[in-house]
Amino acid sequence: MITGKNYLGHQLSAKGSKTYQTFNPQLNIENDSTFTEATSEEIDEAVALASEAFKPFRTTSGKQKAKFLNTIADEILALDDELIQTYCSETGLPEGRAKGERGRTVGQLRSFAELITEGSWVEATIDTAQPDRQPISKSDIRKLLIPLGPVVVFGASNFPLAYSTAGGDTAAALAAGCPVIVKSHPMHAGTGELVASAIIKAAKKTNMPNGVFSNINSSGIHVGGELVKHSGVKAVGFTGSIKGGRALYDLAAQREEPIPVFAEMGSINPVVILPEALKNRNESLAKTYAGSITLGTGQFCTNPGLLLGVKSEGLSNFVQNLSNEIIKIEPSCMLHPNIIGAYEHNKQKAISQPRLTVTADYESDVQTNYARQAITTVEGKTFIENPTLHQEVFGPYSIVVQCENKTQLKTIISNLEGQLTGTLIADNDEASNHPEIVSALQNRVGRIIYNGVPTGVEVCPSMVHGGPYPSSTDSRFTAVGIHSIKRWVRPFSYQDWPNELLPNELKNENPLGISRLVNNKQTSDNI
């Protein structure tokens, strides 16, 4: 049941006077529930509870934390139809997507549970003492990764489950041993509260400390800012716009004690299409990309917003084919009137730039809140000269840039803002014949794809979801996959510490049987 209240640790609370509702974009009406924005007092309480919970939670064993994560997954599944219906009513997304995203969310929780049950992720590193070393003896030193402290996670508008309340950031932070305070996304506050209730149930069932998780409502930006500035908060996770992520990064950097912010922000995900591929697969490529550009109404951070090629008959045909294919696709609903409003505004802004040709713009009538897909094209020189054309248009829109030659293509790639992904479409020897293009692309992105589409972010250890600024605020981490746990931990050394007082991960006996670097050799052996 949705109460509209905040979870301050295990307790529901609604002391504020500011309320708001979520919106059903398919029906174009407000949903029933009313949510109460958290007050400063409630924020303080959530942070105080998290700080207190951190004391026992940071040394809670991997197996116990895994039980917590698996129980969260179970409780999310137990929400069953109520969750799916609420999700759909707050996003306009179809049931299939809701179920798929729930599967992804549950899968993420279980994969972190597996990681911490096994336990080697703490990178235990041991150098034993050398009492007789000359000229001075060497101490016994042992290192492992420990949690940073309370983490604030901002729910994402476009992934109410997988990148929100119990999404990747939360799962990774809890797995690391960090209490989490979620700043719920106002567009899907009901979905958020339901998932929060599942987390609280799981926390109680597995005896986790009160304050290990809180869920904070707010419709504006003030509450998020207060959370990031709070001295008890030690790190921040965010998925959203460049403007939003940068604002949080700036607040965190300006604190007396600066804290890390991992913000996964905008990206236009360049796709480079080489001539042979255009020659051999023009129509099928056009079809594939029309699908990728409109997938989820273009509301993915890996949406291909920029296609690059060298001016040719093949490229002209591709623009035509892509435009024909995309117009055939039925328009679909966007997440919220604000999102469709921003899409229409940004699309118009892009389309109205000088020396740009609109080759497709869905013209038939569409339902309210449905997005009209569009394709535009410009010459390389125009793209270089006009940074407005580099900006993300969040939605089913792409621009095709027709470069003068390969040198200009390389120049454009080299000067792109940082991106989550880059894709190369090539046939036969084209990839090996263009090392400079591959190299330029690699330097601007976090993930490079060969003959595929950037949409679809696999959750697996080899995935990098992140990249050079502004695709993320810290390219040294990924937001997806088990290694995203590294965002929320720090290395810590024990020197000459008594064996019996060391954490299990570092004891001579290796009671957890984990893999450790002992005197520079990776081993699971005892010492």
Is 371 in a helix, a strand, or coil?
Answer: coil
Does 89 interact with its own copies (rule: CB under 8 A)?
Answer: no
388 vs 443, which CB is nearer to its own copies?
A: 443
Tokens representing residue 216 in the block: 């904070």
Stretch of 87-95, 329-337, 338-346, 457-465 lying at the interface with its own copies (CB under 8 A): 457-465
Q: How far is the CB of 317 from its own copies (least distance, A)?
A: 25
Does 231 interact with its own copies (rule: CB under 8 A)?
Answer: no
Sign of the C-alpha dihedral, residues 153, 158, 162, 166? positive
Stretch of 165-173, 280-288, 318-326, 446-454 lying at the interface with its own copies (CB under 8 A): 446-454
**Residue from 315, 360, 464, 514 binding its own copies (CB under 8 A):** 464
CA distances from 353 to 376, 390, 396, 399 (A): 11, 12, 18, 12
Does 57 interact with its own copies (rule: CB under 8 A)?
Answer: no
Q: Which of 37, 75, 178, 301 is catalytic?
A: 301
CA dihedral 83, 89, 92, 98 (to 10 degrees): 10
**Residue from 29, 221, 253, 385 binding its own copies (CB under 8 A):** 253
E strand spans, 265-356: 270-273, 306-310
**Residue from 187, 285, 489, 512 binding its own copies (CB under 8 A):** 489
User: What's the CA gap between 431 and 448, in Å, rounded?
Assistant: 12
Residue 343: phi, psi to the nearest 5?
Answer: -60, -50
The CB-side HSE value for 41 (13 A sphere, CA atoms) comes to 5
Active site residue 403: no
Q: How far is the CB of 212 from its own copies (least distance, A)?
A: 17
Does 456 interact with its own copies (rule: CB under 8 A)?
Answer: yes
Does 497 interact with its own copies (rule: CB under 8 A)?
Answer: yes
Under 8 Å between Cβ of 421 and 446: yes
Q: How far is the CB of 348 from its own copies (least distance, A)?
A: 26
85 vs 475, which CB is nearer to its own copies?
A: 475
CA angle 71, 88, 107 (to 5 degrees): 30
Q: How far is the CB of 161 from its own copies (least distance, A)?
A: 17
Under 8 Å between Cβ of 299 and 267: no
Tokens 């990764």 belong to 145
Stretch of 15-23, 78-86, 404-412, 444-452 lying at the interface with its own copies (CB under 8 A): 444-452
User: What's the CA gap between 441 and 418, in Å, rounded?
Assistant: 10
Is 378 in a helix, a strand, or coil?
Answer: strand
Does 515 interact with its own copies (rule: CB under 8 A)?
Answer: yes
**Side chain identity at residue 401, one-letter code:** V
Does 460 interact with its own copies (rule: CB under 8 A)?
Answer: yes
Does 251 interact with its own copies (rule: CB under 8 A)?
Answer: no
Does 204 interact with its own copies (rule: CB under 8 A)?
Answer: no
**Residue from 44, 494, 504, 508 binding its own copies (CB under 8 A):** 494
- Please report, as residue ranges, which positions from 258 to 277 form the binding site for its own copies (by CB under 8 A): 258-260
CA distances from 479 to 166, 263, 331, 524 (A): 14, 9, 30, 29
Tokens representing residue 211 in the block: 């304050």
Q: Which of 226, 264, 392, 417 is catalytic?
A: 264
**Residue from 183, 185, 447, 507 binding its own copies (CB under 8 A):** 447
DSSP output for 236-250: EEEES-HHHHHHHHH
354 vs 498, which CB is nearer to its own copies?
A: 498
Active site residue 264: yes
65 vs 487, which CB is nearer to its own copies?
A: 487
- Please report, as residue ranges, which positions from 112 to 171 form the binding site for its own copies (by CB under 8 A): 123, 125-127, 136, 138-139, 141-143, 146, 148-149
Residue 35: phi, psi to the nearest 5?
Answer: -105, 140
Show which residues are catalytic: 264, 301
